[in-house]
Chains A and B, each alone.
Chain A
């Protein structure tokens, strides 16, 4: 395996890891505030559809992105109303939203475009790959040149936004008052309430941030990674992001490594199909299932305990 192949695999790792990273950070904000969110998949799916549909209809990528984020926010708010306002079961609400997204996107796509649940190809209206400064100039330099040109440069703007979200998330969570309160509300909402801070407002803020991030993830899928929406295009990525979140033990920097690891698994599975290890063949299905298997191994406690935020999943009832 030469440098070029490695770079190609790593390049597609970044491409495939980016939506996972965005959704994982979305889950991180939500779960750190005590709202379990298994609706990441659904939010990204509606965002993928609406970003592609609006970008196609208006010819404007920015309007598409905006529509993607807004549609994801709508699902977020339903989740918030169900699980915060009406103290419903957060898991059931998430399941319902995933189904809602999976059904509605096809229903609307069929009605608008009549192409069996997909949008027409976006053609040129999509996020293009950026060439970072000096990439062309540095290209002939051995090792560093190709790494900079192929791996670091040459992604769409959303990839850089996603990577930037990691330090920003860290900073917000650990260096701001809002972040401290957010983490507190996920561990002990009663204490936060006693301090005179609104639990409901904090949790809604967390859910809105999650909605925006899932919106970015979905738009990335339909308008950057691919040129258009196809039925079920999130393909379980929301659940892989959920797995990555556990893997990352609900921490931003670990989230980056976990999602890139899962991105690498997807990239390898995509490139090599069945891997031949000197007579012993690893089937592609095993590679596809590996993120889930790894999560089970983590949960089984073989690689250290993964403790979720303590108040996760419980609706907060104010004392009377």
Chain B
């Protein structure tokens, strides 16, 4: 079958998939007796019309950029890292340990230290599944799912038995020292008499996420390692023939992926919560899958998809507050996006390919 023009592959297919997901979501809203147009208006109003709404949207987007990049780096090596949730949880643990046990003099140093902790712990949590895939051939999807559950149990244990302050009821660590608090958008962008991003959790980590996008782009398309990762993903036997060791690439790609997932902890645990809480990853590890699929595994696409999902998350919270639509609507939308852009890709692609082939025939 003839190839489609590149723009159709990159823009048209995700757009059509997104429209299909949106139509089904609108039908779901109609079915529970609410107006889709009104719901959409409420979401836009709550997420984009005020700077505090943007503060939440960008906060969520920051989480999703990290986990989305993590999934897409693994995808480039043809690995499906479904363990972002566990890696992000461990990243949060790394952040908490760095913030709790090291007396940082200034937030900038604390940020450096916690970023190292987050990346190291996230990468470590990806290492064992990566090793098992590389050396034992055990499927990375199964092992990373298992590691999500093991991570949840581990954090539950640590928060209940080790990190919880004496006398506290809630399974959460002590609050971090004031010196580790990251500058929020409110403190960075507000001027005298004009408070912006009031009370919202967006913080300086957003810019680190943007840097991570550039880093991943450089890594995948402008470095030798990235070339090797892509070759491995395209054809393992071809890469092997070219002298690229598959197990080395699997392990390196998964370490980078795990580190990126873990970095989410800087935003959620240090930037927003100021302490380690149970379920600190808030499902963002899984949204990373939707974000990577929608963003076509390109950092710029991941950025756009993350902003979209940040909008959906914040808008969904607004909906839950003002209407009878529960927050779970967002999970449905997320499922539909994964379904259409991931699993049912060919449903959109094949008719389009046929259409373009016919157009080309007419021209000829």
B152's nearest neighbour on chain A, judged by CB, is A289
Residue A246, interface by CB 8 Å: yes
Residue A288, interface by CB 8 Å: yes
B327's nearest neighbour on chain A, judged by CB, is A106
**Cβ–Cβ < 8 Å partners of B286 in chain A:** 95, 99
B139's nearest neighbour on chain A, judged by CB, is A308
Contact of B293 with A97 in the complex, beta carbons under 8 Å = no
CB distance from B251 to the nearest CB of A (A): 15
Residue B190, interface by CB 8 Å: no
**A9-17, A82-90, A137-145: which one contacts chain B?**
A82-90
**Cβ–Cβ < 8 Å partners of B293 in chain A:** 92
**Cβ–Cβ < 8 Å partners of A246 in chain B:** 142
Contact of B332 with A285 in the complex, beta carbons under 8 Å = no
Contact of B334 with A99 in the complex, beta carbons under 8 Å = yes
A interface residue numbers (CB < 8 A to B) = 38, 78, 81-83, 86-93, 95-100, 102-104, 106-108, 110-111, 114, 117, 236, 239, 242-243, 246, 283, 285-286, 288-289, 292-293, 295-296, 299-301, 306, 308
Partner of A243, one of B136, B146, B329: B146
**Cβ–Cβ < 8 Å partners of B16 in chain A:** none
Contact of B326 with A299 in the complex, beta carbons under 8 Å = no
Residue B32, interface by CB 8 Å: yes
- As a 0/1 sequence over residues 108 to 137 of chain B, the CB contacts with chain A under 8 angstroms (1 = contact) are 000000000000000000001000100010
**Cβ–Cβ < 8 Å partners of B328 in chain A:** 102-104, 106-107, 110, 117
Pairs A-B, 7 closest by C-beta atoms: A103-B331, A93-B343, A99-B335, A289-B153, A103-B332, A92-B342, A299-B138
**Cβ–Cβ < 8 Å partners of B342 in chain A:** 88-89, 92-93, 95-96
Which of B146, B147, B293 lies at the interface centre, i.e. has the most chain A CB atoms within 10 A of its CB? B146
**Cβ–Cβ < 8 Å partners of A100 in chain B:** 332, 335-336, 339
Bound CA span A87–B332, Å: 23
Contact of B324 with A88 in the complex, beta carbons under 8 Å = no
Q: A107-B328, A111-B31, A239-B149 are in contact. List 11 more A-B contacts (CB 8 A).
A: A92-B289, A96-B336, A97-B335, A100-B335, A103-B332, A106-B331, A107-B32, A285-B156, A289-B149, A289-B154, A308-B139
Contact of A242 with B343 in the complex, beta carbons under 8 Å = no
Bound CA span A1–B316, Å: 52
Residue B338, interface by CB 8 Å: yes
**Cβ–Cβ < 8 Å partners of A93 in chain B:** 339, 342-344
**Cβ–Cβ < 8 Å partners of B128 in chain A:** 296
Contact of A95 with B32 in the complex, beta carbons under 8 Å = no
**Cβ–Cβ < 8 Å partners of A97 in chain B:** 335, 339
List the count of A-B residue pairs having beta carbons below 8 Å apart.
151
Residues A89 and B343 in contact in the complex (CB < 8 Å), given A96-B338, A111-B33, A300-B136: yes
Contact of B145 with A239 in the complex, beta carbons under 8 Å = yes
Tell me the chain B residues, 222-265 only, with Cβ under 8 Å from chain A: none
Residue B221, interface by CB 8 Å: no
Bound CA span A239–B344, Å: 23
B287's nearest neighbour on chain A, judged by CB, is A99
A82's nearest neighbour on chain B, judged by CB, is B343
Bound CA span A51–B290, Å: 30
Q: How many chain B residues touch A (Cβ–Cβ < 8 Å)?
A: 50
- Can you show 5 pairs from A to B with CB atoms below 8 A apart? A88-B343, A91-B82, A107-B332, A283-B157, A301-B138
CB distance from A132 to the nearest CB of B (A): 36
CB distance from A320 to the nearest CB of B (A): 11
Bound CA span A93–B146, Å: 19
**Cβ–Cβ < 8 Å partners of A117 in chain B:** 326, 328
Which of A88, A103, A236 lies at the interface centre, i.e. has the most chain B CB atoms within 10 A of its CB? A103
Contact of A107 with B146 in the complex, beta carbons under 8 Å = no
**Cβ–Cβ < 8 Å partners of B82 in chain A:** 91, 95
Contact of A91 with B138 in the complex, beta carbons under 8 Å = no
**Cβ–Cβ < 8 Å partners of A289 in chain B:** 149-150, 152-154
Residue B218, interface by CB 8 Å: no
Partner of B335, one of A90, A96, A110: A96
CB distance from B306 to the nearest CB of A (A): 17
Partner of B343, one of A96, A110, A299, A300: A96
Residue B347, interface by CB 8 Å: yes
Residues A299 and B335 in contact in the complex (CB < 8 Å), given A38-B141, A99-B286: no
Contact of A88 with B132 in the complex, beta carbons under 8 Å = no
**Cβ–Cβ < 8 Å partners of B324 in chain A:** 110-111, 114
**Cβ–Cβ < 8 Å partners of A87 in chain B:** 346
Bound CA span A23–B80, Å: 23
Partner of B344, one of A82, A95, A102, A106: A82
